[in-house]
Amino acid sequence: MAAKSDLWTRIGSALVLFAIAGTALWFGGIAFGLLLLVGGALVVVEWLALVRGMPLGGGAKMLLNILGPLAILGAMAGLWFIRDHLGMTAALWVFGMVWATDIGAYFAGRAFGGARLAPKISPSKTWSGLIGGMIAALVVGSTIADRGGITGVPLWIGLAMGLVAQLGDLGESWMKRRAGVKDSGKLIPGHGGLFDRVDGLLPVALILGALAFAGQIAVRAAG
């Protein structure tokens, strides 16, 4: 019964998060910007707590305490820029590749199993999951880009972002293992912290946001 109750808690939390994020994404503008501002601040708090619990030297901790928050806020700014300047489809393209990576990695890992990707960091992850996640991101990313008129990105960008998302996940797993904790926080019932939910999204948003800001990604005008 406890396991079933936990499952329903996870599902309920996921639905609430999806509703909040989806509504803000739909309206864009101030609503989406406020969501990113609050979410980014919460992730920074969780990041700093993880670093505080890691057995690292003072210099290494200082570096992580500076670079981490800057990267997190940069990722949030990248998401805002993509949604505000390129539109809803471009934002869904970013989210879609990350979601596809998670789903593809999960099912490929369960279906094919095989050698562990990084057993000392995240024992459940496999090389088959890594490849499956990258392929799923490629398929979803190229489909949304083609139908949504997103230009300026090569076909293989989905493969690259599928890899980046999983590296972000592994990076957070390494931090949690070093800090001796299971989750980055307790904000989301059944899921842990917000950082646990966006660890793969952050590096993808940072990279694609920078490319969009540099004018390397555009959306073809309709008609």
| DSSP result, 52-109 | HHS---HHHHHHHHHHHHHHHHHHHHHHHHIIIII-HHHHHHHHHHHHHHHHHHHHHH
Q: Copy the structure tokens of residue 61.
A: 């901790």
Of the two residues 12 and 180, the one the predictor is more confident about is 180
- Whether the pLDDT of residue 220 is over 90: the answer is no
Of 100, 92, 98, 72, the closest CA to residue 28 belongs to 92
Half-sphere exposure of 157 (CA within 13 A, CB side): 24
Distance of CA 66 to the CA centre of its chain: 20
* CA angle (200, 203, 207) in 5-degree steps: 140
Of the two residues 18 and 158, the one the predictor is more confident about is 158
- Whether the pLDDT of residue 190 is over 80: the answer is no
Residue 1: pLDDT band (50, 70, 90) is: very low
pTM above 0.85, yes or no: yes
Q: What is the pLDDT of residue 223?
A: 45
For 59-80, what is each residue's pLDDT tens digit?
Answer: 999 999 999 999 999 999 999 9
Of 105, 91, 80, the closest CA to residue 168 belongs to 105
Q: How many CB atoms lie within 10 A of CB 56?
A: 15
- Whether the pLDDT of residue 163 is over 60: the answer is yes
Q: How many CB atoms lie within 10 A of CB 131?
A: 20
Residue 222: pLDDT band (50, 70, 90) is: low
Least reliable range by pLDDT among 157-166, 171-180, 183-192, 202-211: 183-192
Alpha-carbon distance 4 to 201, whole Å?
A: 28
What is the mean predicted confidence (pLDDT) over 80-92? 95
Q: What is the pLDDT of residue 42?
A: 96
Residue 4: pLDDT band (50, 70, 90) is: low
Mean pLDDT of the chain, nearest integer: 92
Of 116, 98, 110, the closest CA to residue 164 belongs to 98
Q: Copy the structure tokens of residue 47.
A: 């990041």
Residue recorded with tokens 């949690």: 176
